[in-house]
Amino acid sequence: MSRPHRGDATLPSFLVTFIFLQLLPAGNGKSDFCVLGPPDPLLALVGQDKELPCKLSPNISAEGMELRWYRDQPSPAVHVHKDGEDVYEEQMEDYRGRTTFVGSHMVRGEVAVRIRNVTVSDNGTYHCVFKEHTSHSQATLWLKVAGLGSSPRIHVTGTQDKSIRAECTSSGWFPEPKVEWLDLRGEPVPAETHFSASASTGLFAVVSTVTPQDRAVEGLTCSISNPLLPEKKVAETYLPAALFRRPPSTERGPALPLILTALGLVTAAIACAFGRSHKEDKSEEEEAETGTSAEAEPSHASLSLDPETGSPKLMVSEDRKSVKRLLFDQDLSPSSKRFDQDPCILAQERFDAGRHYWEVEVGGRRAWILGVCLESLGREGRIPKSPQHGLWALEFYKKKLQALSYPRTRLSPPQPLWRVGIFLDFEAGEISFHNAADGSQIYVFSGLSFSGPLQPFFCLWTHDPRPLTICSVVREAEEDTESSGGPDLPGDSR
């Protein structure tokens, strides 16, 4: 890192001037004053404007004084204001055309100089000196310049030996930022990071690479932060399936048996994982053929997400059972069916009669909306989320659960929700939400009448990489012991 050090060559002259100023007889009894600057360093973002304020104590008028802001030496200065006018003859090249004197509170001794379009070379120490006749006093100010860089981009490549290499790049940082890679479980991934400073702007560019050895890594986030600023810039990538393929026949976890007593369902196994769609079709058929229980049994809706309705902020899995939030909008063909602003999506299924039940795994996701909407719900801009507009839903946001009723209803289920069951009874005009772990009801919208077909509705607020996943129902008779389920306990939601 090579930063221009303006003062080095002229240090002796600076000292001489400084000593000269110190030796001036201070205060001839007429107007004894002292100059104060901000006690703490000022923070300015690259490209912004920043004022460097100084004031007199006591708060006498600064009119008629010579006011000078300078860096290493009093001349040339950052800005000089003398006899009520700005004086540019003594101004440093770097500040030409970039400074404005702010004198609206001059009568009470408060003045400032505004620097426009702050750059990296403005970082450092400043002095302001006030001079009247033979009296003078000065204060020191510190300006910390911070550059918040561009959103990082991740580029993934496969190598010959089948390992993966991901490279994260970003520029526009000052000072050197902190770079951190995490996998989707939040575990740090070791990385090799290089910084380079731009010769013209002094801003840092970052190139950081990882080659994860762990084959279980399904995705990565690269997050870059400035030590002076609270925000982080984050990019996320899902590793290509072709390079990190799981064995296709592997069942990811056992099926989850569940007794939905509240709904009067027979024992069913519900799996929220990928790769079960082939099984699911078969079980649907079986269900239709056997037709075990009477008319009371609602149909297990086997939903598929409709990517054509999905916001460009969302990515739907190949089997259309799962949806994730992206950090960048995808380039997608425009469609009047698509949510163009809210990160929402619908399922393909339309219900205009009957009773339907489905479950969605929300897992540890920090924010979501699940529910049912009229097919005619608007898709453009921010969607009004309430029953008057044809949406009946639950929202989890900032650790709070609420029904999107009008007015809103705060809910506090006894246990955190891992999987949510949604039950629609079209004829009865009822939509209820359940904790799928035990079937207990969380909220019900009732006494409804629907003006048209309904569709399952999902939104994924916040940049949380965890997906929402529709659970497939794998029917399983109670006496069926040879099935993959094993001795899982009902209610064990993980």
Question: Least CB distance from residue 419 to ligand NAG, whole Å?
Answer: 50
By CB atoms closer than 10 A (0-12, 13-18, 19+), residue 209 is middle
- Considering the complex, state which of residue 175 and residue 298 has its C-beta at the smaller distance from ligand NAG: 175
Question: Least CB distance from residue 60 to ligand NAG, whole Å?
Answer: 8
406: which 2 tokens?
């009008």
Cα distance between residue 236 and residue 443, in whole Å: 35
Find residue 273's DSSP bridge partners.
none
Beta strands in 248-374 (DSSP E): 256-258, 268-271, 299-300, 314-316, 322-325, 344-346, 355-361, 368-374
Cα distance between residue 379 and residue 392, in whole Å: 16
- Considering the complex, state which of residue 92 and residue 156 has its C-beta at the smaller distance from ligand NAG: 92
- Considering the complex, state which of residue 117 and residue 159 has its C-beta at the smaller distance from ligand NAG: 117
Question: Least CB distance from residue 441 to ligand NAG, whole Å?
Answer: 59
Cβ–Cβ contacts within 10 Å for residue 197, how many? 18
Coil/strand/helix, residue 238: strand
Question: Least CB distance from residue 41 to ligand NAG, whole Å?
Answer: 5
Question: Least CB distance from residue 112 to ligand NAG, whole Å?
Answer: 14
Closest CA to 434 of 224, 258, 292: 258
Find residue 138's DSSP bridge partners.
129
Question: Least CB distance from residue 426 to ligand NAG, whole Å?
Answer: 59
Side chain identity, residue 276: R
Question: Least CB distance from residue 468 to ligand NAG, whole Å?
Answer: 43
- Considering the complex, state which of residue 108 and residue 178 has its C-beta at the smaller distance from ligand NAG: 108
Please say whether the dihedral angle defined by the alpha carbons of residues 423, 426, 427 and 430, taken in this order, is positive or negative. positive
Distances (CA, A) of 22 to 135, 322, 490: 11, 72, 83
The answer to whether 245 and 236 have CB atoms below 8 angstroms apart is no
Coil/strand/helix, residue 36: strand
- Considering the complex, state which of residue 97 and residue 247 has its C-beta at the smaller distance from ligand NAG: 97
153: which 2 tokens?
């981009």
Phi-psi region of 83 (alpha: psi -120 to 50; beta: other; left: phi over 0): left
Contacts of 379 (CB under 8 A, 6+ apart): 309, 336, 337, 338, 339, 340
Question: Least CB distance from residue 11 to ligand NAG, whole Å?
Answer: 17
Residues that bind ligand NAG (CB under 6 A): 3, 41, 59, 108, 117, 119, 123-125, 142, 144, 175, 201
Question: Least CB distance from residue 92 to ligand NAG, whole Å?
Answer: 15
Question: Least CB distance from residue 120 to ligand NAG, whole Å?
Answer: 8
The answer to whether 404 and 394 have CB atoms below 8 angstroms apart is yes
Side chain identity, residue 231: E
Side chain identity, residue 293: S
- Considering the complex, state which of residue 123 and residue 322 has its C-beta at the smaller distance from ligand NAG: 123
- Considering the complex, state which of residue 171 and residue 483 has its C-beta at the smaller distance from ligand NAG: 171
Q: What is the DSSP letter of 54?
A: E
- Considering the complex, state which of residue 172 and residue 175 has its C-beta at the smaller distance from ligand NAG: 175
Closest CA to 302 of 269, 266, 277: 277
Question: Least CB distance from residue 234 to ligand NAG, whole Å?
Answer: 24
- Considering the complex, state which of residue 144 and residue 466 has its C-beta at the smaller distance from ligand NAG: 144
Find residue 408's DSSP bridge partners.
none
- Considering the complex, state which of residue 175 and residue 421 has its C-beta at the smaller distance from ligand NAG: 175
Closest CA to 433 of 456, 462, 466: 456
Question: Least CB distance from residue 144 to ligand NAG, whole Å?
Answer: 5
- Considering the complex, state which of residue 202 and residue 257 has its C-beta at the smaller distance from ligand NAG: 202
- Considering the complex, state which of residue 124 and residue 439 has its C-beta at the smaller distance from ligand NAG: 124
Cα distance between residue 171 and residue 60, in whole Å: 47
Side chain identity, residue 327: L
Break the chain down into helix, strand, coil percent, rounded to 5: 10, 40, 50
